[in-house]
Structure 1
Amino acid sequence: MIWDTADTTFAENLAAARAYYAQADTLAAPRHATALDKPVGQWLTNLRRPGGLGKDPERAARRAEQLAAIDPDWNPGQLGWTVDWQRHWAGLAALLAGGAGLEEIVPGVTHHGDDIGRWLTRQARDWTGLNPEQQHRLGEMGVKPAARPQKTATRANAKAGAAKGSDAFTRGVAALQQYIAREEKHVVGRGHVEELPDGTTVKLGVFLSNQKNRRDRLTDDQLAQLTNLGYHWAVA
């Protein structure tokens, strides 16, 4: 007898998640991913959204524990980075575990369709835009920041001026990270407003548009943060 169909459905999808993890070494699945004929990618995306684990706190906690037992990093948004970053990091770990050296993982080297080499090059180049835990995880694998060429004095002065708005920029990036981790997309509507955990709000669509229009006045660190979030127009 089935007492709770919701729990039964969750258990079936959880089995599919285990099967996916056995194949991919991560639960950072793209939305289109399937396993055991279940749309496990979309299911995980839904679970990561606020309230996605259910309204009952005890049930939600139990489900979170079950997912963490498969992959402790099943919800990378709580760690401060995107599902896409987590999947590429797991891909790098898999390639290294398989015997590849860092020097061999160049652009064009893929894992389950993701270009890990290109991603790795970007991480080393944009190191300052990573948070401390991301730097630590990559550092444990032997990844180091790439050497940067010296900038001209004119550009340096222009960048220094942009730093005055760093507090607003920091709030904007935090809101952007939260939005991408939840929605798993980078397109933000012009009128979208994102609320941060401390209750402050950010006009996210306007913020993103402004950064794109003034990218020549952003600091290298600010450009790197936007690049690592997937906005390649910010490449320094």
Structure 2
Amino acid sequence: MTSLDKPTTTGQDSEGESEGEARAVTEAALFEAFGGVRGMVETVLPGLLFVTIFTVNKDLHVSAIAALTVSLLLVAVRLVRKDTVKHAFSGVFGVAFGVVFAMMTGNAKDFYLPGMLYTLGLALAYIITSIAGVPLIGLILGPVFKENLSWRTRNPGRKKAYTKASWAWGLILLTKCAILFPLYWWADTEHLGWVLVALKIPPFLLAVYLTWVFLAKAPPPIDVFAEVEVQEKAEKERKAAASRGEV
């Protein structure tokens, strides 16, 4: 085979490979940040158990205790397996607040109210931080991508992508609230519970997908951790050279 016959790597091929790597890195980071399939199961299961039991026997106490118990079991499983517990713990706190609130008021629908208020607050946080120029999704994902806050001043393309993603999260969650809060006032516990369970995953997946689309097209993150390591290594070499009288 002559040099003319040998396959060559074009700029387009290199660009395609780097773009594919960026997409893979973005996908992995989003999977880590939001808990993946297991995190979604841990989010849905307690509420699903609550509404299922309440639909069958209309017993608030049994439904609430069952939901809290399964949340604690999910945390225990993660602790035994030495996995990350942040997603399971957030689920426990959410369920615990719902249980306490429902027990205090005696209204089974109030089991869902703390979570609904949290969703509303989170939606507003996404929108307000986007307007303020510090999009919340960037604050969440910056450490995951090892860029911290470098995107704010040094990487305008990523800041723009984070802003778009935060707007997407905020508007999607506001739409979810616009469906749930009227049901809280007008529907019974079973209807509210089943609708809430149905709306757990699809809006979340849509928001994650849009985040992936925006970030996959954005410039790559600036690895500030690697920069710090390079600076520390250079400083050590400078000191070593100074001690040997080379400087």
Identify whether the pair has TM-score above 0.5, normalized to the shorter chain. Answer: no
TM-score by length of 2: 0.26
Greater relative contact order (Cα 8 A, min sep 6): structure 1 or 2? 2
TM-score by length of 1: 0.27
| Structure in which a larger fraction of residues adopt helix | 2
